[in-house]
Amino acid sequence: MYRGSFVALVTPFKEDFEVDFDAYGRLIDFQIENGTDGIVPCGCTGEAATLSHDEQKKCIKFAVERIAGRVPVIAGTGSNNTREAVDLTRYAKEIAADGALLITPYYNKPTAAGQIAHYTAVAQAVDIPIMLYNVPSRTGVNMDPKTVAELSKVPNIVSIKEASGNVDQASQIVSLCNINVMSGDDSLTLPMMAVGAEGVVSVAANVVPGEVAAICAHANEGDFAAAREVHRKLTPLFKGLFIETNPMPVKATLAAMGLIKNVLRLPLTSMTEPAYARLKPILQDLSLV
Protein backbone atom coordinates (compact mmCIF):
# COMPACT_ATOMS: atom_id res chain seq x y z
CA MET A 1 0.00 0.00 0.00
CA TYR A 2 2.56 2.61 1.15
CA ARG A 3 6.24 2.44 0.28
CA GLY A 4 9.22 4.68 0.88
CA SER A 5 9.66 7.87 2.88
CA PHE A 6 6.57 9.66 4.14
CA VAL A 7 7.32 12.85 6.06
CA ALA A 8 5.56 13.59 9.35
CA LEU A 9 5.27 17.24 8.39
CA VAL A 10 5.68 20.00 10.96
CA THR A 11 3.06 22.75 11.21
CA PRO A 12 4.78 26.15 10.92
CA PHE A 13 3.46 29.03 13.00
CA LYS A 14 3.86 32.78 12.75
CA GLU A 15 5.10 34.80 15.70
CA ASP A 16 1.46 35.33 16.76
CA PHE A 17 1.07 31.50 16.85
CA GLU A 18 -1.29 31.39 13.87
CA VAL A 19 -0.58 28.79 11.17
CA ASP A 20 1.90 30.12 8.62
CA PHE A 21 0.44 28.79 5.38
CA ASP A 22 3.10 30.48 3.22
CA ALA A 23 5.78 28.51 5.06
CA TYR A 24 3.58 25.40 4.96
CA GLY A 25 3.47 25.59 1.20
CA ARG A 26 7.24 26.01 0.97
CA LEU A 27 7.78 22.98 3.18
CA ILE A 28 5.48 20.85 1.03
CA ASP A 29 7.25 21.91 -2.17
CA PHE A 30 10.65 21.31 -0.54
CA GLN A 31 9.60 17.76 0.32
CA ILE A 32 8.31 16.86 -3.11
CA GLU A 33 11.26 18.46 -4.91
CA ASN A 34 13.63 16.34 -2.81
CA GLY A 35 12.07 12.95 -3.38
CA THR A 36 9.70 12.38 -0.45
CA ASP A 37 7.20 9.67 -1.37
CA GLY A 38 4.25 10.88 0.72
CA ILE A 39 3.21 13.61 3.14
CA VAL A 40 1.50 13.21 6.52
CA PRO A 41 0.10 16.51 7.86
CA CYS A 42 -1.33 16.99 11.34
CA GLY A 43 0.31 14.14 13.19
CA CYS A 44 2.25 14.37 16.45
CA THR A 45 5.15 16.15 14.71
CA GLY A 46 2.57 18.54 13.25
CA GLU A 47 1.46 19.50 16.78
CA ALA A 48 -2.07 18.31 16.08
CA ALA A 49 -2.76 18.24 19.82
CA THR A 50 -2.55 22.05 19.89
CA LEU A 51 -4.58 22.68 16.73
CA SER A 52 -8.30 23.34 16.88
CA HIS A 53 -10.35 20.99 14.73
CA ASP A 54 -11.04 23.87 12.36
CA GLU A 55 -7.30 24.56 12.03
CA GLN A 56 -6.59 20.87 11.54
CA LYS A 57 -9.12 20.70 8.73
CA LYS A 58 -7.67 23.82 7.11
CA CYS A 59 -4.16 22.35 7.24
CA ILE A 60 -5.27 19.06 5.72
CA LYS A 61 -7.22 20.83 2.98
CA PHE A 62 -4.28 23.13 2.24
CA ALA A 63 -1.91 20.16 1.99
CA VAL A 64 -4.20 18.23 -0.35
CA GLU A 65 -4.64 21.24 -2.61
CA ARG A 66 -0.96 22.22 -2.62
CA ILE A 67 0.22 18.67 -3.31
CA ALA A 68 -2.40 18.27 -6.05
CA GLY A 69 -1.89 14.54 -6.49
CA ARG A 70 1.89 14.68 -6.82
CA VAL A 71 2.36 12.31 -3.87
CA PRO A 72 -0.11 10.63 -1.48
CA VAL A 73 -1.45 12.63 1.47
CA ILE A 74 -2.15 10.66 4.64
CA ALA A 75 -4.07 13.05 6.89
CA GLY A 76 -3.66 12.89 10.65
CA THR A 77 -7.21 12.46 11.94
CA GLY A 78 -6.74 10.58 15.19
CA SER A 79 -8.29 11.37 18.55
CA ASN A 80 -8.92 9.69 21.88
CA ASN A 81 -12.59 10.48 21.25
CA THR A 82 -13.95 8.09 18.63
CA ARG A 83 -16.67 10.51 17.48
CA GLU A 84 -14.09 13.22 16.89
CA ALA A 85 -11.88 10.77 14.99
CA VAL A 86 -14.82 9.85 12.77
CA ASP A 87 -15.58 13.54 12.10
CA LEU A 88 -11.99 14.39 11.17
CA THR A 89 -11.63 11.26 9.04
CA ARG A 90 -14.87 12.03 7.18
CA TYR A 91 -13.48 15.45 6.40
CA ALA A 92 -10.25 13.93 5.08
CA LYS A 93 -12.33 11.75 2.79
CA GLU A 94 -14.45 14.71 1.64
CA ILE A 95 -11.45 16.77 0.56
CA ALA A 96 -9.85 13.79 -1.22
CA ALA A 97 -6.96 12.88 1.09
CA ASP A 98 -5.47 9.56 0.05
CA GLY A 99 -5.64 8.06 3.53
CA ALA A 100 -5.93 8.77 7.23
CA LEU A 101 -3.44 8.24 10.07
CA LEU A 102 -5.14 7.48 13.39
CA ILE A 103 -3.17 7.37 16.62
CA THR A 104 -4.09 4.80 19.27
CA PRO A 105 -6.47 6.58 21.69
CA TYR A 106 -4.28 8.36 24.23
CA TYR A 107 -4.91 8.97 27.94
CA ASN A 108 -7.95 6.64 27.94
CA LYS A 109 -5.58 3.63 27.68
CA PRO A 110 -8.14 1.32 26.02
CA THR A 111 -7.76 -2.44 26.19
CA ALA A 112 -7.25 -4.50 23.04
CA ALA A 113 -11.03 -4.81 22.79
CA GLY A 114 -11.37 -1.04 23.01
CA GLN A 115 -8.70 -0.46 20.40
CA ILE A 116 -10.40 -2.87 18.02
CA ALA A 117 -13.79 -1.27 18.61
CA HIS A 118 -12.38 2.25 18.12
CA TYR A 119 -10.61 1.59 14.85
CA THR A 120 -13.41 -0.59 13.50
CA ALA A 121 -15.95 2.15 14.21
CA VAL A 122 -13.92 4.71 12.26
CA ALA A 123 -13.21 2.32 9.40
CA GLN A 124 -16.87 1.37 9.05
CA ALA A 125 -17.96 5.02 9.17
CA VAL A 126 -15.51 6.27 6.53
CA ASP A 127 -14.42 4.39 3.42
CA ILE A 128 -10.85 5.64 3.29
CA PRO A 129 -7.55 3.74 3.64
CA ILE A 130 -6.55 3.84 7.31
CA MET A 131 -3.05 3.72 8.77
CA LEU A 132 -2.96 2.67 12.41
CA TYR A 133 -0.45 4.53 14.58
CA ASN A 134 1.09 2.75 17.55
CA VAL A 135 3.23 5.06 19.69
CA PRO A 136 3.06 3.92 23.34
CA SER A 137 5.59 6.53 24.50
CA ARG A 138 2.92 9.18 23.79
CA THR A 139 -0.33 7.29 24.33
CA GLY A 140 0.52 5.23 27.40
CA VAL A 141 -0.69 2.01 25.81
CA ASN A 142 0.83 -0.44 23.33
CA MET A 143 -1.09 -2.03 20.48
CA ASP A 144 -0.25 -5.74 20.57
CA PRO A 145 0.67 -7.47 17.26
CA LYS A 146 -2.33 -9.78 17.69
CA THR A 147 -4.57 -6.72 17.89
CA VAL A 148 -3.00 -5.34 14.71
CA ALA A 149 -3.56 -8.68 12.99
CA GLU A 150 -7.23 -8.65 14.01
CA LEU A 151 -7.67 -5.09 12.74
CA SER A 152 -6.00 -5.98 9.45
CA LYS A 153 -9.09 -8.06 8.66
CA VAL A 154 -11.08 -4.80 8.31
CA PRO A 155 -10.89 -4.10 4.55
CA ASN A 156 -9.84 -0.44 4.68
CA ILE A 157 -7.35 -0.78 7.56
CA VAL A 158 -4.32 -1.22 5.35
CA SER A 159 -1.23 0.00 7.17
CA ILE A 160 0.42 0.69 10.53
CA LYS A 161 2.94 3.29 11.60
CA GLU A 162 4.79 1.20 14.18
CA ALA A 163 6.58 3.40 16.70
CA SER A 164 6.87 1.14 19.73
CA GLY A 165 10.65 1.23 19.41
CA ASN A 166 10.67 -2.55 19.20
CA VAL A 167 11.86 -4.27 16.03
CA ASP A 168 10.62 -7.60 17.40
CA GLN A 169 7.11 -6.18 17.47
CA ALA A 170 7.34 -5.13 13.84
CA SER A 171 8.61 -8.60 12.96
CA GLN A 172 5.69 -10.21 14.79
CA ILE A 173 3.18 -8.03 12.94
CA VAL A 174 4.67 -9.02 9.58
CA SER A 175 4.54 -12.69 10.55
CA LEU A 176 0.91 -12.53 11.71
CA CYS A 177 -0.73 -10.65 8.83
CA ASN A 178 -0.20 -8.89 5.53
CA ILE A 179 -0.73 -5.33 6.73
CA ASN A 180 1.66 -2.73 5.32
CA VAL A 181 4.19 -1.75 8.01
CA MET A 182 5.88 1.67 8.14
CA SER A 183 8.53 2.51 10.71
CA GLY A 184 7.64 5.27 13.13
CA ASP A 185 11.22 5.68 14.39
CA ASP A 186 13.90 7.05 12.06
CA SER A 187 16.71 5.23 13.82
CA LEU A 188 14.88 1.91 13.39
CA THR A 189 13.77 2.32 9.78
CA LEU A 190 16.55 0.20 8.32
CA PRO A 191 16.30 -2.70 10.80
CA MET A 192 12.50 -2.66 10.50
CA MET A 193 12.74 -2.78 6.72
CA ALA A 194 15.09 -5.73 7.08
CA VAL A 195 12.25 -7.67 8.76
CA GLY A 196 9.52 -6.57 6.36
CA ALA A 197 8.55 -2.91 6.80
CA GLU A 198 8.28 -0.97 3.53
CA GLY A 199 9.22 2.52 4.61
CA VAL A 200 8.96 5.17 7.29
CA VAL A 201 6.78 8.01 8.48
CA SER A 202 9.74 10.21 9.27
CA VAL A 203 10.61 13.18 11.45
CA ALA A 204 14.11 13.49 9.99
CA ALA A 205 12.70 13.76 6.45
CA ASN A 206 11.57 17.27 7.37
CA VAL A 207 15.22 18.36 7.11
CA VAL A 208 16.92 15.65 5.00
CA PRO A 209 14.14 14.41 2.71
CA GLY A 210 16.39 13.11 -0.03
CA GLU A 211 18.59 11.07 2.29
CA VAL A 212 15.69 9.44 4.14
CA ALA A 213 14.05 8.60 0.82
CA ALA A 214 17.37 7.07 -0.30
CA ILE A 215 17.53 4.74 2.71
CA CYS A 216 14.04 3.45 1.89
CA ALA A 217 14.69 3.16 -1.84
CA HIS A 218 17.94 1.25 -1.34
CA ALA A 219 16.35 -1.12 1.20
CA ASN A 220 13.30 -1.76 -0.98
CA GLU A 221 15.64 -2.55 -3.87
CA GLY A 222 17.54 -5.01 -1.67
CA ASP A 223 20.72 -2.91 -1.60
CA PHE A 224 21.22 -2.93 2.15
CA ALA A 225 24.89 -1.98 1.88
CA ALA A 226 23.94 1.34 0.28
CA ALA A 227 21.09 1.81 2.76
CA ARG A 228 23.46 1.20 5.68
CA GLU A 229 25.86 3.85 4.39
CA VAL A 230 23.17 6.55 4.45
CA HIS A 231 21.75 5.24 7.73
CA ARG A 232 25.14 5.52 9.46
CA LYS A 233 25.62 9.04 8.11
CA LEU A 234 22.25 10.14 9.51
CA THR A 235 22.30 8.25 12.82
CA PRO A 236 23.58 11.24 14.84
CA LEU A 237 20.76 13.35 13.37
CA PHE A 238 18.16 10.70 14.17
CA LYS A 239 19.27 10.86 17.80
CA GLY A 240 19.77 14.63 17.83
CA LEU A 241 16.22 15.35 16.72
CA PHE A 242 15.03 13.78 19.97
CA ILE A 243 17.41 15.53 22.40
CA GLU A 244 14.26 17.30 23.57
CA THR A 245 10.59 16.60 22.89
CA ASN A 246 9.65 16.28 19.22
CA PRO A 247 9.05 18.58 17.33
CA MET A 248 11.17 21.06 19.30
CA PRO A 249 14.53 20.01 17.75
CA VAL A 250 13.22 19.59 14.20
CA LYS A 251 11.59 23.02 14.31
CA ALA A 252 14.82 24.56 15.59
CA THR A 253 16.62 22.89 12.69
CA LEU A 254 14.14 24.05 10.06
CA ALA A 255 14.38 27.58 11.46
CA ALA A 256 18.19 27.46 11.26
CA MET A 257 17.79 26.35 7.64
CA GLY A 258 15.62 29.43 7.01
CA LEU A 259 12.46 27.46 6.17
CA ILE A 260 10.21 28.38 9.12
CA LYS A 261 10.11 30.48 12.27
CA ASN A 262 11.09 28.64 15.44
CA VAL A 263 7.63 28.94 16.99
CA LEU A 264 5.74 26.22 18.87
CA ARG A 265 2.46 26.35 20.71
CA LEU A 266 2.34 25.92 24.45
CA PRO A 267 2.88 23.72 26.32
CA LEU A 268 5.82 23.13 23.95
CA THR A 269 8.55 25.77 23.82
CA SER A 270 11.64 26.36 21.73
CA MET A 271 14.72 24.26 22.48
CA THR A 272 16.82 25.36 25.41
CA GLU A 273 20.20 26.83 24.54
CA PRO A 274 22.19 23.95 26.12
CA ALA A 275 20.15 21.40 24.16
CA TYR A 276 20.59 23.29 20.87
CA ALA A 277 24.31 23.53 21.58
CA ARG A 278 24.36 19.71 21.49
CA LEU A 279 22.33 19.59 18.27
CA LYS A 280 24.15 22.31 16.31
CA PRO A 281 27.42 20.38 15.65
CA ILE A 282 25.35 17.50 14.21
CA LEU A 283 23.63 19.92 11.85
CA GLN A 284 26.97 21.47 10.89
CA ASP A 285 28.48 18.08 10.13
CA LEU A 286 25.63 17.49 7.67
CA SER A 287 25.97 21.02 6.20
CA LEU A 288 22.41 21.83 7.22
CA VAL A 289 23.47 25.09 8.92
Q: Once rounded to an integer, what is the mean pLDDT over residues 129-156?
A: 97
The pLDDT of residue 285 is 97
What separation in angstroms does the CA of 265 have from each of 41, 51, 52, 164, 178? 16, 9, 12, 26, 38
User: Half-sphere exposure of 274 toward its Cβ, with a 13 Å CA cutoff?
Assistant: 0
| Percent of the residues in the chain that have a pLDDT greater than 70, as a whole number | 100
Q: How confident is the model at residue 276 (pLDDT cuts 50, 70, 90)?
A: very high
Three-state SS for the chain is CCCEEEEECCCCECCCCCECHHHHHHHHHHHHHCCCCEEECCCCCCCHHHCCHHHHHHHHHHHHHHHCCCCCEEEECCCCCHHHHHHHHHHHHHCCCCEEEEECCCCCCCCHHHHHHHHHHHHHHCCCCEEEEECHHHHCCCCCHHHHHHHCCCCCEEEEEECCCCHHHHHHHHHHCCCEEEECCHHHHHHHHHCCCCEEEECHHHCCHHHHHHHHHHHHCCCHHHHHHHHHHHHHHHHHCCCCCCCHHHHHHHHHCCCCCCCCCCCCCCCCHHHHHHHHHHHHHCCCC
The residues that are catalytic are 133, 161
Which tens digit of pLDDT belongs to each residue from 165-224? Answer: 999 999 999 999 999 999 999 999 999 999 999 999 999 999 999 999 999 999 999 999
| Percent of the residues in the chain that have a pLDDT greater than 90, as a whole number | 100
Q: How confident is the model at residue 109 (pLDDT cuts 50, 70, 90)?
A: very high
The pLDDT of residue 112 is 97
| Domains of the chain as residue ranges with CATH | 4-223 (3.20.20.70)
Q: Is 273 exposed, middle or buried (0-12, 13-18, 19+ CB in 10 A)?
A: exposed
pTM of the model: 0.96
The pLDDT of residue 166 is 96
Beta bridge partners of 100: 75, 130
The pLDDT of residue 13 is 98
Q: Once rounded to an integer, what is the mean pLDDT over residues 56-69?
A: 98
> What is the rounded average pLDDT for all residues in the chain?
97
Q: How confident is the model at residue 104 (pLDDT cuts 50, 70, 90)?
A: very high
Q: Once rounded to an integer, what is the mean pLDDT over residues 2-7?
A: 98
Q: Once rounded to an integer, what is the mean pLDDT over residues 132-136?
A: 97
Q: Once rounded to an integer, what is the mean pLDDT over residues 84-111?
A: 97
The CA angle 92-93-99, to the nearest 5 degrees, is: 75
Rounded Cα–Cα distance for residues 50 and 6 (Å): 22
The pLDDT of residue 1 is 79
